Amino acid sequence: MTPRILLIPFISLLAWGQSPKTPGPSALAPQRLKIALDAGHGGDDTGAKGSKGLLEKDAVLSIVQELNKSLEEAGFDVMVTRADDTFIPLWDRARMANEAGADLFISIHLNAARARAAKGSEVYFLSLDRGDEDAASVAAVENAGAGSRPGADSVVAGILEDMAQKAYLQDSERLAVAVQLQLNRLGGIKERGVKQAPFVVLRGAAMPAVLVESAFISNPKEELKLKDAAFLKKLAVAITQGVRRYFAGAAGTARRKAISTSR
Ligand SMILES: [Zn+2]
């Protein structure tokens, strides 16, 4: 018996176990990327308040609604952590995005500063330590409503959650840079870079994740702009452009392809 004869039944067995060669329609369709949008605060947690009474929780929900539209128009799937005035515990937000299989997580907030002239957008990604003083105080304000981690008794669960975002920090930084660049253009700001701070809402995200402090609600001029639909749309388009630039530069060719076919 020659080795060639022995091989024939072996090869047919391999073929038996394989899936059909012809791809179905789903394999031919471009892969759609899913973006998780998180409007900060909600319910009793109002977030920061403008001097004319605008609440962060309401303004960020409006931004997320615009961003949802803009991302869908650009060919992305979108899921939101909250679609109305409900508070979602911070620890649950990344978990919802993980369960939905999202490719990116973007949390939308508004900044507040004692200096009323402070303006523009700041994009953050997670720092596993405290970060610098200013960044740490921004994170402390945003983390205020977090409460304790559910199942805080489980050390293993805690470590796993921390590790989730740790694996994506480089990508999160690239995403932050891409979005910041577009927001700087929108705001006519040249030099503002991205920042790192220990935001609870980003920690459990098993995907690139950023938090956008979209504008300063403490600045009366920016508070006024946040009530203007045209400005919200510009903000949404700028963030969408940043997301697209991020994927265009991503190493994964499948992802790059998905974006180019969605144009
Ligand atoms: Zn906030």
Domain boundaries, the chain: 31-262
pLDDT of residue 114: 87
Which residues are found with C-beta within 5 Å of the ion, ligand 1? 40, 47, 109, 142
Buried b / exposed e along 84-120 (16+ C-beta atoms within 10 A): eeeebbbbebbbbbbeeebbbbbbbbbbbbeeeeebb
pLDDT reported for residue 191: 76
The predicted pLDDT at position 4 comes to 53
| pLDDT value of position 257 | 40
What tokens appear for 61 in the block?
Answer: 């929900």
| 261 CA from centroid of ligand 1 (Å) | 35
What global pTM score does this model have? 0.82
Cα 42 to middle of ligand 1, angstroms: 10
Give SS3 for 258: helix
Residue with the two structure tokens 């949404």: 236
CA 47 to ligand 1 center in whole angstroms: 5
The per-residue pLDDT for 259 is 44
Closest Cα to residue 36, out of 67, 12, 58?
67
Instruction: State which residues of the chain have pLDDT below 70.
Output: 1-30, 147-162, 251-263
What distance in angstroms lies between residue 157's CA and the mean position of ligand 1's atoms?
26
Torsion of CA 97, 42, 163, 213, to 10 degrees: 100
Fold observed for domain 31-262 = Aminopeptidase (3.40.630)
CA–centroid distance, 244 to ligand 1, in Å, is: 25
The whole-number pLDDT of residue 144 equals 86
How many CB atoms sit inside 10 A of residue 174's CB?
19
pLDDT at 188: 87
Buried b (16+ CB within 10 A) or exposed e, 52-68: eebbbbbbbbbbbbbbb
For residue 163, the model assigns a pLDDT of 75
Centre of ligand 1 to C-alpha 170, Å, is 24
